[in-house]
Amino acid sequence: MSSESATGTVDQLPEVDLSGIEALLEPYLGEKGVVIPALQSLQEHYGYLPRPAMEYTARRINVPLSRLFGVATFYAQFKMKPRGRNIIRVCKGTACHIQGSSKVSDRVEEILGIKGGETTPDLRFTLEEVACIGACALAPVMTINDHPHGRLTPDRIKKILDSYE
C-alpha cells in the first residue's frame, strides 16, 4: 500500500494485518457511542490508525468511514501515519527555549534527517516538539519514550540517539 505525500512522492506504508481485528472490535459491536473507544483500541493495537483497519471498523460498527476520519483527525491523540519505535519529544517551553532547545531540535533534525512531526523512514524515531515537558530544572530537555534527557547540548545528541534501537 502506498500514499502520496505532500511533496508528491509516494511513501510506502507497511502492510496492515487485519487478523485479530474482529476480537478487538467485538466489545463495540451493536453498542452506541463507540467511535472513540474503537479508535483508541485500533491505535493501541497498530500504533496508529491505518486506513484498511478504519475501513473494516466502519463496516463492523456500522458507522460511516467519514465519521471515523472526522473524529480521528479532530483529536490530537490519534495518529494517521505510522510512528517510530522511539518517540522523541523536544521541549519548547520558556525555560528550555531560553537555554537553547532550538539548537537541540536542529541537531536532532540534522542527525535523523526529519523535521518535527515526522518519522524516520525506518520507523526508528518520531520527532515531536511539545510546549512543556515539566522538567524546567533540566532545561533544555527532551524525552525519548518518556525517559528524560536534560541539560542538553547539541554535542550530546548523537550519543543519546545512538543508544536507542
Query: Do 6 and 63 fall within a single domain?
Result: yes
Residue 100: which of 157, 145, 51 has the closest Cα? 157
Would 153 be classed as within a structural domain?
A: yes
Say if 147 falls within a structural domain: yes
- Would you give per-residue pLDDT tens digits along the chain (165 residues)? 444 444 333 345 558 899 889 999 999 999 999 999 999 999 999 989 999 999 999 999 999 999 999 999 999 899 999 999 999 999 999 999 999 999 999 999 999 999 999 999 999 999 999 999 999 999 999 999 999 999 999 999 999 999 999
The domain tally of the chain equals 2
67 with 91, same domain: the answer is no
Domain with 134 in it: what CATH number? 3.40.30.10
Residue 80 included in any domain: no
**pLDDT for residue 128:** 95
* Domain end (from 74, 109, 133): 74
Residues of the domain holding 23 = 2-74
pLDDT of residue 15: 81
Residue whose entry in the numeric block shows the C-alpha cell 520527532: 127
Do 110 and 52 have their domain in common? no
pLDDT of amino acid 7: 38
Q: Based on the domain organization, do 8 and 67 belong to the same domain? A: yes
Q: Which three cell numbers stand for residue 49?
A: 490508525
Question: Looking at the structure, do residues 15 and 58 belong to the same domain, yes or no?
Answer: yes
Full DSSP string of the chain? -EEE-TTSPEEEPPP---TTHHHHHGGGTT-SS-HHHHHHHHHHHHSS--HHHHHHHHHHHT--HHHHHHHHHHSTT--SS---SEEEEEE-SHHHHHTTHHHHHHHHHHHHT--TT-B-TTSSEEEEEES--S-GGG-S-EEETTEEE-S--HHHHHHHHHT--
134 and 113 housed in the same domain: yes
